[in-house]
Each structure stands twice: as C-alpha cells, then as structure tokens.
Amino acid sequence: MELFRLTAAEATTLFRSRELSPLELLDAVLARTAATEPEVNAVTEQWVDEARAAAAESERRFARGERVRPLEGIPLMLKEEQPVAGRRIEEGSLLEQGTIAHETHPVVERVRAAGAVIHGRTSTPEYSCAPVTHSALWGVTRNPFNRQLSPGGSSGGAGAALAAGSTVLATGSDIGGSIRIPSAFCGVVGFKPPFGRVPGLAPFNSDTYCADGPMGRSVADVARLQNVMAGPWAGDQAALPTYPALSAEPGSLAGLRIALCVDLGGYEVDRAVERNTREVAAALADAGATVNEVSLPWGPELVQRTAWPHFGAIMGPFIEDIAHGDPARTELLMPYTRAFARSAAEAGSYVEGLVAEAAFYRPFGELMADHNALLCPTVATTGFAADADCTDSRDVFSQLMTLPFNVIGRVPVLAVPSGMAPNGLPTGVQLVGRTYDDAAVFRIGAALERELALWTDASWWPEL
C-alpha cells in the first residue's frame, strides 16, 4: 500500500516496529498533497516547517522508547473554521480576509498535545453554511472521486483531503450535517458527537445543534481522534465532565437490535442510496444484529419547520452581525450565505421551536426504547455539482438526512460509507445511537467495517 493511504492505526504499528518513521510518512503525505491539490483544492494553507519539526520530535520519541502520545507522528489537518492564535481565520469569506485569530480552539490544543503532526488546514464554504465547498476567497473544492462533483460541506476540504490521501486524520464540525455529508460523498468515516462531548468556543459551544468532531479513513482512527478531542474544558460550561473512552474493536453484534428507516418519514431517496443502505442492513444482520425495518413520522418538511427557528435564533443573527447591516458588506457574502440568512430570518418563534424539538424527539426516543441504534442514509441524493449555488436553502435541506440528528443533538451519529453510486461517488449511512451512547455506534461501525470490507480495501480509493 502507498504510504499516504495508511490509516493512523497502521502507521502507529509501523512506527513502533521502526519500519516507518513519522518524517517518512509526512513526506509521503506532502508529496501527495502537491500532486493532487491542483485538481482537488482542499487545502487553504500548509505548515510544512512546523510539521517537520513535530514529526522529528515524534521520531525521537519512538527511537528513545519514550512515552508515546495518542496521535504520535500522525499527519492531521484542521478545519479552517477552528481558530489558531496568531494564524489567519478567514472562514472562506472576503469579509474575513487577513483576519488573525486571538485564541486557539481547544480541539487544536488537544490534537497538538496528543502528538499529531498538524501540517495544514482544509477549506470550507463561507461561514460553514452550505453542503458544498466553494467560496470567492478559496475557489471550488472538488471531489477526488469525480471532480465535477462536490465533496460536500461544510467540512468538504477535510473529506476531500482524506479521500485524496493528503492527510491521515482531519478535524471537522457539524451543525446540520457538515461532518457526515462529506463523509458520505468522499467515502470516509466521520463522527458527530453528542452536544457537550467536545468542547468549543462561544457562541456555538452552547448551540445544541453544533459539534466539532473527528474524520478519518477507518472507524478505529475516528475513535482514537474522538478520544483525544473529547472531555471537559475550563473554557466551556457546556462540556460534559466525564468521557468514557471509545473502542473500535470489531466483534459480534449478537443481541443488538438495529432499526432500519430508509426514508425517515418522507425523504425522496435515490435508488442507489437505498440499495446500498439495504446492503448495509444485510451486513449488520450477518454480523449478528437483529435488524427491523421501522418508520418515523418526520420527513423533510417537519424537519425544516422544527429546525429553522433554531437557525433563526443563533446562526442567522450571527451572519447578520457580520454584515453590520451594511449593503456593501452584505454584497460581499456568498449567495448561499445570504440565502441562508434570509431563510433564518423568516423562521418562526424560537420558543415554539423548542417545543417542536421536544415533540420531534419523542418518536425517536420511543423507538430507541426497543433498539440500540438506528440505521438510515446520510444524504438522499448521490451528489451536488462542485459549484452548485445552493441558494434555495429549503430545497437543499430536503436532501440532507443529517439535520434530524442535529435537532436531537444529544445523540451520537457515526457516518460510514455504504457503497458506490453510478456517478462514481460513494454513498453513506448514519448509525445513530441512543442519547450519549457513543460506544454502541462505534461497536456497530467496527463490525460493519469488517463485514463489508469496502473502505479498508486499497481499491476503494480514487485514482488521481
């Protein structure tokens, strides 16, 4: 296998045996980035000198038999949305061009302290508010599997970089599907943690829809990165005080009951997506689980009626504040950003929205009384054009089957590939657990990874 295709787990094994050094792996990843970036455009900046210094330090630790940190020597890219003090924080926006961050996101501090070799940052749509990744500031990020199509958004640069082989691990964030959509379209693994699992910065650390989370090319890699990112932090009152470490050891699923819901109550699911979702369900049954097909009384219209008051109370005003009511500044925003802000401004009462969210959760809670997890598609469609304008926010959200699980944001969601669509893009499924039962979705994901053997095979990845 080419070095840039190694998982973090495989790389660590080779580091320990001294068959590979962190510097050698970093060089392979940097060479791959140089080769693929002209086509993919997923990287906003590279930190080569700092990365080489970090890799050299990791190499010394392995050579001396010193304590090895959880991510020792593993190349990792940060989502640009997560600030680093003294570095640019531009959010894909012309309005932020040249802005320097004054604080560092706790996720960045944690992956650095864990020994990760941070070698760059990945692109996002402007203010992370689109399911595609393009902006006037950074241009169009393209899917390595099909360059006419998008890697998804808003963590699209992270998904594309992982699929291209430009990094081994990546960080993302998710407020409506922003980790899971790129995971589906790029054939990688991503995790939307429950609210409070991973600490964040104001104001979105207090937003129950929002979570920073890990992305990688295997379930075990994502579990390892999540273990580093999670846990209490003095700067975030919403961060939970304890965190049970995750394991991704594959085993039998005997005794687990998994609910299968293909359309979540009314989404128009592409045939290829449905076929691949049902193949996942069959694989889970082969791994020992009992899989029951169920229905949920949701559908895209109810989801949006429930969610838009929330966006109208938090993210919409956040965007409006950036423009300061200045028409000239507003004109510099991307069309999809302006469209999102308009839809948010038209939303109903936040209080009524909170009541609706409680009612929305009830059927899921009742379902989970008899099941350990829910299986459903990640996105109803098989892809968006790389430069799709996404100005009809409500139409876009009618295709994203991720948003329901931001509405009920205390549930863990592991996104894994499910197969390929005729257009050459991967499809994906979501494994949704009971409230704060992160361990269950990783247990199921690990068994599925072994059973399907899709993204663990070298033939899965795109040729560039």
- H helical segments located in 324-458: 327-332, 335-345, 350-368, 393-397, 404-407, 438-452
DSSP reduced 3-state for 149: strand
| Distance, CA of 79 to CA of 179 (rounded, Å) | 11
- Reply yes or no on whether 128 is catalytic: no
- Reply yes or no on whether 178 is catalytic: yes
Catalytic annotation, pick one of 58, 123, 128, 154: 154
| Distance, CA of 378 to CA of 181 (rounded, Å) | 7
The pairing of beta strand 290-293 with beta strand 117-122: unpaired
Give the orientation angle of helix 315-323 with respect to helix 299-313, to 10 degrees.
50
Catalytic annotation, pick one of 21, 58, 79, 192: 79
DSSP reduced 3-state for 238: coil
Q: Are 44 and 80 in contact (CB under 8 A)?
A: yes
Q: Would residue 440 be called left, alpha or beta, if left means φ above 0 and alpha means ψ between -120 and 50 degrees?
A: alpha
Q: What is the DSSP letter of 71?
A: T
The pair of three-digit structure tokens given for residue 51, joined into one six-digit string: 């990365």
Catalytic annotation, pick one of 21, 128, 155, 178: 178
The pairing of beta strand 257-260 with beta strand 290-293: parallel
DSSP output for 164-223: HTS-SEEEEEESSSTTHHHHHHHT-EEEEPPTTSS---TTGGG-TT-EEEEEESSHHHHH
Q: Are 141 and 133 in contact (CB under 8 A)?
A: yes
List residues with catalytic annotation. 79, 154, 178
